[in-house]
Amino acid sequence: MAARSGSKKKRKASYYYALTISNDPKSNVKSRRYTHGLLKLYEIIVAVLTVAILCFVGYASYSASITREREAALKETITALQDENSALASDNEALSEKVSILSETVNQKTEVVAQIEEKSLPTGFPLSGTAELKEKDEVLRIDGNTVERPMIEFAASNGTYVIAAGDGVVSLVAEESTYGWEVRIDHGNGYVTVYRTNTEPKVKQGDEVPRGGLLYEMEAAQNDSSAKMAYQIIKDEEYIKPTEMLKIEG
């Protein structure tokens, strides 16, 4: 037998050709040779690119869907916020109107309170007509001490009315030794006014009297040419000069 050759025969390589044929009869046919491995590489590259494109398209579609859902949710949120803002604006308008009404009411009440406080101040003239007045001090002995209380003594004609200097409540009606009768009015603001004359009062303890309300009708005592009335003001339990509060017109 013939001995085999020590060297193996080389495997013949396989090639693939790609032909490019032009519609121009004068053009030559162009060919490109590819090996089997190169074609496989191209196939892998094409497959990878295809998968990548499909993944990209899928991701883009998913992202677009998520974006649309988010936009829809945002639109719903915006619509809800706009509705809520409209409701709040309406509530705010209603509250502003209420505040305006309350403010007007408070201002009216404040004005009324101020008027009440003004009427309660004993600044009015305590007689219905003209009179002569004389400032003097009432001198008393209390617990062995001499006490002086400022007052005004009015001299007026018979029939002149003694009237309240401010709104208040009659806190005392009593007989007294110097003038005859004493009436006290508590004005509810620390002020108390004292009226003393010789005729019986027209009010009793506990009566509410307005500024200008009738307390006495003055009458001159026997042998006197005019009727007398003593007037005092107490502020926080201290006697003060009546002229500090008295408003005299004319």
Tens of pLDDT, residue by residue over 109-143, are 777 767 777 888 999 999 998 999 999 999 988 88
**Separation of alpha carbons 157 and 219, rounded Å:** 7
Which CA distances in Å does 58 have to 26, 31, 49, 55, 242?
Answer: 47, 38, 14, 5, 101
Short-list 211, 217, 176, 174, CA closest to 191: 211
**Separation of alpha carbons 65 and 70, rounded Å:** 9
Q: Which amino acid is at 58?
A: G
Which CA distances in Å does 73 have to 59, 64, 87?
Answer: 21, 14, 21
Which CA distances in Å does 189 have to 20, 44, 67, 229, 237?
Answer: 119, 106, 74, 24, 12
Largest CA distance in the chain: 191
The DSSP secondary structure of 80-132, one letter per residue, reads HHHHHHHHHHHHHHHHHHHHHHHHHHHHHHHHHHHHHHHHHSS-S-SBSS--E
**Count of beta carbons in the 10 Å neighbourhood of residue 160:** 22
Q: What percent of the chain has pLDDT over 90?
A: 48
Q: Report whether pLDDT(2) > 70.
A: no
Q: Report whether pLDDT(5) > 50.
A: no
Beta bridge partners of 136: 151
Instruction: Encode pLDDT of 202-242 as tens digits.
Output: 999 999 999 999 999 999 988 888 999 999 999 999 999 99
Q: Report whether pLDDT(51) > 70.
A: yes
**Average pLDDT of the residues in 92-104:** 86
Task: Provide the pLDDT for residue 1.
Answer: 43
User: Higher confidence at residue 62 or residue 197?
Assistant: 197
Instruction: Encode pLDDT of 75-96 as tens digits.
Output: 999 999 999 898 998 888 888 8
Short-list 118, 109, 130, CA closest to 210: 118
Residue 244 DSSP class: G
Task: Provide the pLDDT for residue 8.
Answer: 54
E strand segments, 114-207:
132-142, 145-156, 161-163, 168-175, 181-186, 191-197
**Average pLDDT of the residues in 162-174:** 96
Question: Which of 31-40, 65-74, 175-184 is predicted with the least confidence, judged by mean pLDDT?
Answer: 31-40
pTM of the model: 0.59
pLDDT band of residue 249 (cuts 50, 70, 90) is low
Residue at token pair 């004993």: 122
Residue at token pair 């509705």: 83
CB 226 within 8 A of CB 208: no
> Could you tell me the two tokens for 89?
């604006």
Average pLDDT across the chain, whole number: 86
Q: What percent of the chain has pLDDT over 70?
A: 87
